[in-house]
Amino acid sequence: MTRPNAQRLADLHILVAEDVEAVRRTIERGLSRAGARVTSREDGQAALELILTGVQADLLLTDLVMPRMGGAELAREVSKLRPELPVAFMTGYADTDALRELELADPQHRRPILNKPFTIDDLVSAVTRALAANSSG
């Protein structure tokens, strides 16, 4: 695995919603090494509550399947509050219901879906793609 350029995500604040603590910590370390400031929460409900407090982020990276509130529902709620906020998804499942819900929420496929397991390089690339898709459209 190559080490991501430490400046690639410099000055970005990324909010991560991931229910598996070990995965969440790995994501935090990887994004931090790529230069980002990372705030993470254990599920979509906790991430939404943080956004409701006024926390500003440059990107939301969320797991699709989590307890209390999954990623597709989180993205839908966040889009009402911060429609300009780019969103990227992660999933470890071939969960057809979650993917169908995501398809309905994002018919143009502008939000990357990162399949687990992934490398830190894959993660940084997905974040970069989500930011580019948001700025171009």
How many other C-beta atoms lie within 10 A of the C-beta of residue 6? 11
Going 72 to 74 to 80 to 84, the CA torsion angle's sign is: negative
Tokens 């709620």 identify what position? 77
Residue spans per domain, the chain: 13-129
Q: What whole-number distance in Å separates Cα of residue 56 and Cα of residue 90?
A: 21
Q: What whole-number distance in Å separates Cα of residue 91 and Cα of residue 35?
A: 24
3-state secondary structure string across 49-86: HHHHCCCCCCEEEEECCCCCCCHHHHHHHHHHHCCCCC
Which residues are registered as beta bridge partners of 60? 15, 87
- The CATH label, of 3.40.50.2300, 1.20.1060.10, 3.40.50.150, 3.40.50.720, for the domain at 13-129 is 3.40.50.2300
Residue 106 is predicted with a pLDDT of 57
Q: What whole-number distance in Å separates Cα of residue 85 and Cα of residue 107?
A: 17
Cβ neighbours of residue 66 closer than 8 Å, sequence gap 6 or more: 17, 18, 19, 42, 43, 44
Residue 1 is predicted with a pLDDT of 41
Positions of the chain with pLDDT under 50: 1-5, 109
